[in-house]
Amino acid sequence: MESNARRPRRMAYHLSLALLGLTCLLCPADARLLPSEEFPGPWLEVTQEIRDLLTFNKVSACSQAAGRESSRTPGEYLLYCTSDEKVWTGWRVRPAARAVRGPGRPFQDIAPPDGY
């Protein structure tokens, strides 16, 4: 049998677990953005700093490139690169961290830039 002193503590424990569970259920809805929401555009000209970072990381398939800044992580860019205007690759670049991830396929909901 449970003592009367433990009941309030046990009830508070169960209530805090329930509150934590509700919080976790509500968070993912805000955390998941479509790529077109995370990188809303417009397409920007790639800076020399980003071009130097691509060269440093031996990314050669980016003779033509355009970028979009992340709405979630300022300073992170989605780049679309091409050498022939037919095949595009996607890259994520964070110049301040000197980080480059890719190549990857372009996102279905973000069309390559016009004018290339």
pLDDT, position 26: 47
What span, in angstroms and rounded, lies between the C-alpha atoms of 47 and 50? 5
**Residues pairing with 99 in the sheet:** 94
Three-state DSSP at 66 gives strand
What local confidence, expressed as pLDDT, does residue 60 receive?
86
Per-residue DSSP letter, 111 = P
Structure tokens at 44: 């920007």
What is the rounded radius of gyration, in angstroms, for the C-alpha atoms of the chain?
Answer: 23
**pLDDT value, residue 4:** 63
Residue 24 burial by CB count (10 A; 0-12/13-18/19+): exposed, middle or buried? exposed
Nearest to 89 by CA among 116, 52, 55, 64: 64
Beta bridge partners of 104: 90
Q: Look at the alpha carbons of 57, 61, 65, 69 in this order and tell me if their dihedral is positive or negative.
A: negative
Give the pLDDT confidence score for residue 3 in this predicted structure: 60
For the chain, 116 residues long, give each residue's pLDDT as a single digit of tens.
556 666 767 766 655 655 455 444 444 555 689 999 999 999 999 999 999 999 999 998 888 999 999 999 999 999 999 998 889 999 999 999 999 999 999 999 999 998 76
